[in-house]
């Protein structure tokens, strides 16, 4: 369908003193002009059927319309398939973690690659087929929220549920409380100093101290991305820090009550330090604008667009 451009005249108005008149009334003479009709030219696009089209759309060359439609359908189908694969892998890995736990840091890295890559690629392909900006934003937010729910479920399974042996819970809890001093630490930075000395003098190797120090600092770092992006009030530093502190204390308290892990105040400090570092990095203006452009961070309050102007013009 070939697109043509033209002009139409809208709303003729009578104005005897108009200077911009483009034609005279047929009954007027040279000596006396009864009235003049002023036409307001408006640029529009129309096809052979005189159906109004969007003037902001570019013209399509003959023969390319079918190819563009096929490409859009292919991108949409491929994006939906990749998103479905990512969601299926999420469910499978969640069941695996609940049954066996997170065995190694490499498992976590492979989990991130196996889920995030198809999810991001699928979301990108799907949003490329959406003309409305609101639809693109909703698609990105849906994928991001699904990833957030999966991350929370993985934390719950890896830190709590996979460590609880419900068949021998009574005996495990009794043994845990008999060795209460070994399983808990309420002195700030005591465990950190212990691991630093272990690295310094190399008496238990490097893997255990580094995995505990770096792993605890990185474990809750994604929360510094998820919470401010999904919930606008969490962009305030004091509210985010308070929420994370209460969340981390709750995790350690559950580990203590269920006898499923060491209750260590240094874990709270390392987790909180890692999240605050990422939170501060994302406050860099360049990164903040990038997250807004990717539809991840809520947009700042801006004045509404003037009637008739596209949203991108504001």
Residue 87 reports pLDDT greater than 50: yes
Over residues 137-190, the pLDDT tens digits come to: 999 999 999 999 999 988 888 888 888 887 888 888 888 888 888 889 999 999
Both tokens of residue 144?
Answer: 């991001």
Contact 267, 249 (CB under 8 A): no
Contact 88, 119 (CB under 8 A): no
This prediction has a pTM of 0.72
Both tokens of residue 189?
Answer: 């930075």
Q: Are residues 49 and 181 in the same domain?
A: no
Structural domain includes residue 302: yes
Cα–Cα distance measured from residue 101 to residue 149, given in angstroms and rounded to the nearest whole number? 18
Question: In the chain, pLDDT over 90 holds for what percent of residues?
Answer: 35
Q: What is the DSSP letter of 162?
A: G
Domain range for 10: 4-53
Structural domain includes residue 59: no
Q: Are residues 74 and 47 in the same domain?
A: no
Over residues 253-297, the pLDDT tens digits come to: 999 999 888 889 999 999 999 999 999 999 999 999 999 998 998
What pLDDT sits at residue 35? 46
What pLDDT sits at residue 313? 36
101 backbone dihedrals φ, ψ, rounded to 5° = 85, 175
Question: In the chain, pLDDT over 70 holds for what percent of residues?
Answer: 72
Contact 286, 293 (CB under 8 A): no
CA angle (274, 276, 281) in 5-degree steps: 100
Structural domain includes residue 116: yes
By C-alpha distance, which of 244, 254, 200, 196 is closest to 223? 244
Over residues 3-57, the pLDDT tens digits come to: 444 444 444 444 444 444 444 444 444 444 444 544 444 444 444 443 444 444 4
What pLDDT sits at residue 108? 65
Q: Are residues 72 and 128 in the same domain?
A: yes
> For 69, how many CA atoms within 13 A lie in the half-sphere containing its CB?
5
Both tokens of residue 3?
Answer: 């697109």
Look at the chain and report how many structural domains it folds into.
Answer: 3
Q: What does DSSP say about strands 52-53 and 36-46: parallel, antiparallel, or unpaired? A: antiparallel
Structural domain includes residue 211: yes
Q: Are residues 198 and 306 in the same domain?
A: yes
Q: Are residues 178 and 276 in the same domain?
A: yes
Which residues, in sequence order, are CB contacts of 207 under 8 Å at separation 6+?
none
Query: E-assigned strands of the chain?
Result: 4-14, 23-24, 36-46, 52-53, 184-185, 263-264
What pLDDT sits at residue 109? 65
Cα–Cα distance measured from residue 215 to residue 119, given in angstroms and rounded to the nearest whole number? 24
Structural domain includes residue 58: no
Q: Are residues 218 and 308 in the same domain?
A: yes
What pLDDT sits at residue 4? 43
């Amino acid at each position: 369908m070939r697109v043509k451009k033209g002009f139409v005249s809208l709303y003729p108005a009578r104005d005897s003193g108009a200077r911009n008149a483009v034609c005279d009334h047929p009954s007027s003479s040279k000596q006396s002009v009864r009235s003049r009709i002023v036409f307001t030219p408006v640029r529009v696009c129309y096809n052979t059927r005189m159906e109004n089209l969007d003037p902001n759309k570019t013209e399509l060359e003959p023969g390319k319309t079918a190819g563009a439609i096929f490409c859009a359908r292919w991108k949409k189908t491929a994006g939906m398939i990749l998103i479905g694969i990512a969601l299926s892998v999420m469910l499978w890995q969640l069941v695996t973690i609940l049954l066996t736990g997170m065995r190694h840091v490499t498992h976590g890295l492979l989990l991130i690659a196996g889920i995030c890559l198809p999810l991001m690629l699928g979301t990108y392909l799907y949003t490329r087929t959406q003309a409305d900006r609101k639809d693109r934003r909703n698609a990105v937010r849906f994928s991001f929220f699904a990833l957030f729910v999966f991350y929370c479920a993985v934390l719950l399974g890896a830190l709590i549920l996979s460590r609880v042996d419900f068949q021998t819970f009574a005996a495990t809890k009794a043994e845990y409380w008999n060795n209460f001093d070994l399983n808990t630490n309420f002195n700030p930075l005591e465990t950190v100093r212990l691991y630093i000395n272990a690295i310094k003098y190399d008496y238990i190797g490097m893997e255990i101290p580094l995995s505990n120090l770096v792993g605890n600092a990185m474990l809750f770092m994604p929360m510094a991305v998820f919470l401010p992006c999904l919930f606008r009030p969490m962009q305030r530093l004091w509210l985010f820090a308070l929420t994370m502190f209460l969340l981390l204390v709750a995790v350690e308290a559950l580990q203590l009550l269920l006898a499923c892990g060491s209750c260590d105040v240094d874990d709270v400090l390392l987790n909180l330090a890692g999240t605050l570092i990422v939170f501060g990095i994302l406050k860099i203006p360049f990164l903040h604008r990038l997250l807004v452009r990717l539809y991840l961070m809520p947009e700042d309050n801006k004045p509404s667009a003037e009637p008739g102007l596209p949203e991108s013009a504001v």
